[in-house]
Amino acid sequence: MTVSGNTDDYCMSRSSVPDVFDGLVFRVTLNQGTSSAVRDVSGYGANGTITGAIWVNVDGRRCLRFDGIDDHSDFGDPPDGHLDFGTGSFSFGCWYNPTSIVANTYIMDKTSGTGYSIYINNGNGAVAAYTNWASYDLTSIGTIGTGTWSLLYVTVDQSNYPSQGTIRTYNNGIQISTSVSFGSSSNSNAGNLFFGRYVGGGYSNGYLDEVRIYNRALSNAEVAQIYNATNGNL
């Protein structure tokens, strides 16, 4: 793979473990360390803005810190629709380290009537994913704890459309749950992609790193591969 521009955004030299780039349509490494803009290095250029969040280095990771009050990043709704997947397959995930556990706070979100998100479900650290608000596809991603990095991933396999598909969730590369997906209901929406909140608030308090979205359903092995390639290497 040839990387143009700022190769530090990719951090490919920091790990000898192969990573997964096939189908990648959004990738924010959060390695910039400065700037009020956030670069999408997937090649699609869905760059975002920062409100309040600060660049920090935590446990050797350059990342963004959100205060749980009003900090967030906003990437808009790309006009070409490449972050809206209709009735197709997709995957999304990120590294997250909470400073505090507050119910109904959002780590990443792209919803407006329908859509997808990863959020903290309750005060005990349970994390869940919405993959279609219109049909309330809510799936557990296990639990997280303060001061600890976790890789949270969701895959939506719609290869049998119009029959219902399969949602799989992963915590640190290990599959947590499997559930039925939204089937014939479209996931596309006009909502903005946010880090640290959803459109109605729900501000999260913690550190965010290496956010990705793919236009296909990753396999169990690929999610584990991402974990191995990015664990401590960003």
Statement: residue 233 has pLDDT above 80: no
pLDDT at position 7 is: 37
What is the structure's pLDDT at 184?
61
Both tokens of residue 144? 């997280």
**What does the pLDDT look like over 88-130, one tens digit per residue?**
999 999 999 999 999 999 999 999 888 999 999 998 899 988 8
Position 215 scores a pLDDT of 98
Rounded Cα–Cα distance for residues 159 and 161 (Å):
6
Its pTM surpasses 0.85: yes
Q: Residue 3 pLDDT > 50, yes or no?
A: no
The three-state secondary structure class of 179 is: strand
The rounded percent of the chain whose pLDDT value lies above 70 is 90
Q: Shortest CA distance to 170 belongs to which of 210, 127, 206, 213?
A: 127
- For the cut 70, the answer to whether the pLDDT of residue 79 exceeds it is yes
| Residue-wise pLDDT tens digits, 135-151 | 557 889 999 999 999 99
What residue ranges do the domains of the chain occupy?
A: 22-230
Quote the tokens at residue 172.
């640190």
Class of domain 22-230: mainly beta
- Computed over every residue of the chain, the mean pLDDT equals 89
Distance CA 56, CA 95 (A): 14
pLDDT band at 134 (very low <50, low <70, confident <90, very high): low
Specify the range with the lowest mean pLDDT, choosing from 37-41, 73-77, 85-89.
85-89
More confident residue, 164 or 88: 88
Instruction: Say if residue 65's pLDDT is above 80.
Output: yes
pLDDT at 183: 58
Burial pattern 153-192, b for ≥16 Cβ within 10 A else e, equals bbbbbbeebeebbbbbbbbbbeebbeeebbbebebbbebb
Closest CA to 204 of 116, 108, 106: 106
